């Protein structure tokens, strides 16, 4: 064991941290304000970058407390369920959007930022989304809007552009299902041959048009727009979601999504928000 003298010598060799100068009360108050602003900015930027993908319970996923972006945190208020007003405006609600499903006037909109080469996006697509479609989308309560957010390189970009092309023939969601149905597609290079196979599985009739559309400037423009939107929110991993402006990160358990959707629907109803509830008739 090192002697006391050796420990003392190590301490002496370490660079000393400068002692902060004494501050006046006004400087102290200014420092507190600046620190608070920095903390708020970090919180906003980090909402969607918290990549919670564990297979644990919804309760453990939400254990990081308020501000974690998890809709399952205990004690979350109705105002929190409403989400951030600026994030609410990201819902496009275009009736002709081929990359959305559900009533454009549904009280709840879930925006999904995902990558076709992402294994957790595939898990969500196979295990959770079909339940949400049946329980909420088909009843007019929920609308789902897709955003391409390829983060796994060129293969993911090719799949994203191909999904745009499938959408131009009204087959986006069928393409979505075809890609995620096969776990072998995760982190795939998505060669032209493979994309053609997936397009055919999705019922895309005109492969020549499919190739033209995926190589078009319009496809690239929308991809760049979606990706810029995701990065602008602070997202750094997939999947990431906004449910009426309330962020959820990762392929969370079903309860995280159903809880967030029902909270958002209740808040929309209280505030007199437009949209069909899906509970009439």
State how many domains the chain has: 1
In a domain, 31, yes or no: no
In a domain, 3, yes or no: no
Lowest-pLDDT range of 60-74, 77-91, 125-139, 148-162: 60-74
The model's pLDDT over 166-186, given as tens digits with 9 standing for 90+, comes to 999 999 999 999 999 999 888
Tell me, what CATH number does 141's domain have?
Answer: 3.40.30.10
> C-alpha distances in angstroms, 22 versus 26, 140, 181?
12, 61, 63
In a domain, 187, yes or no: yes
Range of the domain at 183: 47-270
Lowest-pLDDT range of 4-13, 38-47, 109-118, 245-254: 38-47
d(CA 27, CA 16): 24
Name the H helices within 14-72: 25-46, 58-61
Average pLDDT, the chain: 78
In a domain, 199, yes or no: yes
In a domain, 20, yes or no: no
| Over residues 131-135, mean pLDDT | 98
d(CA 226, CA 167): 15
Q: Which residues contact 31 (CB under 8 A, 6 or more apart)?
A: 23
In a domain, 33, yes or no: no
């Amino acid at each position: 064991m090192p002697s006391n003298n050796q420990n003392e010598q190590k301490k002496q060799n370490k660079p000393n941290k400068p002692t902060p100068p004494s501050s006046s009360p006004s400087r102290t108050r200014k420092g507190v304000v600046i620190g608070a602003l920095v903390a708020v900015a970090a919180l906003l930027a980090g909402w969607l970058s918290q990549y919670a993908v564990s297979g644990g319970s919804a309760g453990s996923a939400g254990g990081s407390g308020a501000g974690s972006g998890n809709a399952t945190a205990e004690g979350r208020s109705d105002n929190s369920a409403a989400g951030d007003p600026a994030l609410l405006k990201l819902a496009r609600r275009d009736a002709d959007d081929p990359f959305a499903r559900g009533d454009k006037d549904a009280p709840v909109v879930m925006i999904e930022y995902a990558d076709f080469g992402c294994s957790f996006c595939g898990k969500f697509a196979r295990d959770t989304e079909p339940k949400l479609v049946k329980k909420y989308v088909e009843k007019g309560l929920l609308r789902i809007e897709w955003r391409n957010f390829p983060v796994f390189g060129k293969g993911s970009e090719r799949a994203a552009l191909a999904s745009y092309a499938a959408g131009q023939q009204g087959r986006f969601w069928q393409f979505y299902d075809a890609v995620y149905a096969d776990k072998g597609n995760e982190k795939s290079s998505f060669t032209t041959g493979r994309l053609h196979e997936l397009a055919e599985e999705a019922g895309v009739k005109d492969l020549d048009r499919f190739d033209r559309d995926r190589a078009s400037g319009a496809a690239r423009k929308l991809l760049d727009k979606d990706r810029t939107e995701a990065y602008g929110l602070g997202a750094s991993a997939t999947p990431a979601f906004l449910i009426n402006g309330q962020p959820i990160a990762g392929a969370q358990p079903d309860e995280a999504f159903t809880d967030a959707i029902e909270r958002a629907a209740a808040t929309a109803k209280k505030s007199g928000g437009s949209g069909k509830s899906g509970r009439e008739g």
